[in-house]
């Protein structure tokens, strides 16, 4: 190719390269979202959970021959149940370590592992499927407890699904620990390159900001001021989406992402479950 012709084609070649790179980034982001969002730890099916409290292990069928593994801890006597949705890491063994806080207040504690977590079958492939699993688990709980005795708690990734299920129903209270506004916002903060990608590429938007706007139940948000995963501005924005008096925002000075370990969070939960909040 003559040099002059090659030089003339340089802008076209450069543009083609940019388009190819952009398309590659889009494809990588689309295909790899499960790996970015979910970090499950698989357990063998014969694994025996180790807790200082007695529990009942439950298998929840969700269709397609897939069962989800769930645990129900019972308080004696019981005033109701905490429906807990955990974050993106681990499994029930580590995510139920805080069950004692709720049991001490006379509340049963129910949680389940998402698809591919712990002893749950299948794998997460779509957000609607994820929410459908949460709905099936919530229906299982409602078949055993009056809804006015149900407190929904979402932590980290579990915040979006917790807000969606609680705001579509009428539990006694919704507690959000270290929330996010949406995974769109999280992706932009964690991976700045995603700011240049179409929103439609996010297959798991988990729009807490949209779910919570229609909430008619009392909401308590607890968030650490030093959270370096989900900045507290997410919680502040969510609290402004609810009418005055509907939402209580509790900042925890100096606390990081696992705010449930703090004395402030635990005191809030005790007040909510005792009926003084």
Residues 241 and 208 occupy one common structural domain: yes
Please compute Rg for the chain using Cα positions: 22
Q: In terms of residue numbers, what domain contains 233?
A: 40-274
Residues 235 and 263 occupy one common structural domain: yes
CA pair distance 91, 233, nearest whole angstrom: 28
H/E run at residue 151? strand 150-155
Regarding pTM above 0.85, the answer is yes
**Number of C-alpha atoms within 13 angstroms, CB side, residue 265?**
26
Q: Which ranges of the chain have pLDDT less than 50?
A: 6
Which residue pairs, CB below 8 angstroms and at least 24 apart, start in 43-48? 43/91, 43/93, 43/118, 43/119, 44/119, 45/119, 47/93, 47/118, 47/119
pLDDT at 14: 62
Number of domains present in the structure of the chain? 2
pLDDT at 29: 59
CATH number assigned to the domain comprising residue 216: 3.40.50.1820
CA pair distance 96, 12, nearest whole angstrom: 57
Residues 138 and 25 occupy one common structural domain: no
Instruction: Say whether 220 sits in a helix, a strand or coil.
Output: strand
pLDDT at 255: 98
CA pair distance 222, 225, nearest whole angstrom: 10
In this structure, the dihedral spanned by the alpha carbons of residues 113, 176, 167 and 174, taken in order and rounded to 10 degrees, is 100
């Amino acid at each position: 190719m003559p040099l002059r012709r090659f030089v003339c084609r340089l802008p076209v070649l450069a543009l083609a390269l940019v388009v190819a790179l952009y398309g590659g980034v889009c494809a990588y982001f689309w295909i790899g979202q499960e790996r970015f969002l979910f970090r499950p730890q698989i357990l063998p099916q014969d694994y025996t959970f180790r807790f200082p409290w007695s529990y009942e292990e439950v298998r929840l069928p969700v269709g397609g021959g897939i069962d989800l593994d769930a645990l129900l801890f019972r308080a004696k006597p019981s005033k109701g149940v905490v429906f807990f949705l955990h974050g993106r890491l681990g499994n029930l063994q580590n995510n139920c370590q805080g069950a004692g806080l709720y049991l001490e207040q006379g509340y049963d504690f129910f949680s389940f592992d998402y698809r591919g977590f712990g002893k749950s079958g299948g794998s997460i492939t779509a957000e609607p499927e994820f929410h459908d699993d949460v709905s099936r688990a919530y229906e299982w709980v409602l078949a055993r407890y009056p809804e006015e005795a149900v407190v929904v708690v979402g932590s980290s990734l579990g915040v979006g699904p917790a807000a969606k299920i609680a705001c579509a129903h009428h539990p006694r209270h919704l507690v959000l620990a270290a929330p996010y506004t949406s995974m769109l916002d999280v992706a932009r903060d964690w991976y700045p390159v995603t700011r240049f990608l179409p929103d439609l590429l996010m297959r798991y938007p988990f729009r807490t900001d949209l779910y919570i706007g229609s909430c008619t139940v009392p909401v308590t948000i607890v968030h650490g001021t030093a959270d370096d995963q989900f900045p507290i501005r997410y919680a502040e924005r969510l609290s402004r989406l609810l009418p005055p008096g509907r939402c209580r925002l509790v900042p925890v000075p100096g606390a990081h992402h696992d705010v449930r370990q703090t004395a402030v969070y635990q005191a809030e939960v005790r007040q909510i479950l005792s009926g003084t909040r």
